[in-house]
Amino acid sequence: MEASEVKKCIEDGIPGADVIVTADGTKYTAIVVSKEFEGKTMITEQKMVYATVNEHIQSGAIHALTIKAYTPEEWEALNQ
């Protein structure tokens, strides 16, 4: 599975999210920035992202997924 396909799954599942996905074989890292994460715990944010790619995890197309989820404000503060 290409990183671009993982990116599309996440974007389709979390409308309006800014997503960056990198891949090393079947191991992926996703940076997801969304207003949907405001007021949510880190675990809830990760569950939201996992839900968008769960079928690919179950099929083995995605072996591992590291998620870094941020609100737009957190992302902006991190990149200053």
25-38 pLDDT per residue, tens: 889 999 999 999 99
pTM above 0.85, yes or no: yes
At 14 the three-state DSSP class reads coil
Under 8 Å between Cβ of 32 and 70: yes
List domains and CATH numbers for the chain. Answer: 3-74 (3.30.300.90)
DSSP 46-73: HHHHHHHHHHHHHHTS-SEEEEEEE-HH
Residue 18 parent element (H or E): strand 18-24
11-57 pLDDT per residue, tens: 999 999 999 999 988 899 999 999 999 999 999 999 999 999 999 99
DSSP 23-36: EETTEEEEEEE-GG
Compute the half-sphere exposure of residue 13: CA atoms within 13 Å on the CB side of its CA.
Answer: 19
